[in-house]
Amino acid sequence: MTGYGSDFDDLDLDARIDVLAEKLANAKQIAFLTGAGVSTESGIPDFRSTTGIYSTTSENFFSIDYFHANYEDFYRGFAPFYRIVSDAKPNSGHLAIAELETRLGKPVDVVTQNIDGLHSAAGSTQVAEIHGTLRTASCVVCGKRYPREYFDADMRSGAVPRCACGGALKPDVTFFGELLPERAFAAAQRAMWNAKILVVVGTSLQVYPAAGLPRECDAGAPFVVINKTPTQLDSQASLVFHEAIGDVLPKAVARISNTTA
């Protein structure tokens, strides 16, 4: 035993990928819970990792108080991050999750803490973005919501995007000090209740309320962790991968399509 409590931790990587493929193929309904680690392979920095955006900007940069204090300052600092996220493309992990849905023809819920929209871009159709999305922005005065095309040039250049009424636009992402979007969080809870297997990918789930979501799952549903570094959830998981997502998920999905072809 290597000490993280999984039922299969004495198997090598290849054998554990086989176990994952079998669990995914047999589950009637699948839920993924994903975090920054899924998108780092698309070149998007992890907000909370030591090499992420907080090491170069202040931790309160994404606080709602900082945002409202000075829109000009916020958008000047936000532009480099916005450009990286907007230009990012789905990677093999996003694509594998989307492919699972089309190949298996069964429901695959994706609950994500990421704001980059890459799961939808990859083709997943049931995505709950519990920290919101960068694809839309809303007026802080009248609440009108705008699509990316409307504010893209301003956000790229570091200018404050403005509503037709003159109010500043705020990205529809959850800032520190704000509540999570209610509808997305309710969808996330439903996904947990319905899941026959939960795969937690690229997140150490240290932030509540997202961290509490796995506990909403049926006690009998197997629970898999794919994360480069150990997480607090590892001891409760039946299968644990401390590997790069791109080295695990695409291989597992490919093995399923081979067996059903």
- Upstream peptide bond of 214 is cis (omega within 30 degrees of 0): no
From 70-78, 99-107, 141-149, 179-187, span contacting Zn ion (CB under 5 A): 141-149
Check binding of 139 to Zn ion (CB under 5 A). yes
Annotation says 131 is catalytic: yes
Considering the complex, state which of residue 118 and residue 163 has its C-beta at the smaller distance from Zn ion: 163
Q: State yes or no: residue 145 binds Zn ion (CB under 5 A).
A: no
Of residues 69, 141, 186, 207, which one binds Zn ion by CB under 5 A?
Answer: 141
Residue 134's H or E segment, with its range, is: strand 132-139
Tokens linked to 184: 């997305």
By CB under 5 A, name the one of 107, 123, 167, 246 that touches Zn ion.
167
Nearest-approach distance from CB 210 to Zn ion, in angstroms: 30
User: And the tokens for 138?
Assistant: 């809303």
| Alpha-helical runs (H) found in 92-160 | 92-104, 118-122, 148-157
Nearest CB to Zn ion, comparing residues 85 and 139: 139
User: Phi, psi (5° rounding) for residue 30?
Assistant: -115, 140
* Residue 150 contacts Zn ion per CB under 5 A: no
C-alpha distance from residue 66 to each of 58, 71, 72, 242, 247 (Å): 10, 8, 11, 36, 39
141: β partners:
none
Judged by beta carbon, residue 153 or residue 165, the one nearer Zn ion is 165
DSSP state of 54: G
List beta partners, residue 162. Answer: 168
Query: Which CB, 162 or 255, lies closer to Zn ion?
Result: 162
- If one asks whether residue 15 binds Zn ion (CB under 5 A), the answer comes out as no
The piece of 11-19, 89-97, 165-173, 199-207 that touches Zn ion (CB under 5 A) is 165-173
Is 186 an interacting residue with respect to Zn ion (CB under 5 A)? no
Cα(61)–Cα(148) distance, integer angstroms: 22
- Supply the residues annotated as catalytic: 131
- Binding residues for Zn ion (CB under 5 A): 139, 141-142, 144, 163, 165, 167
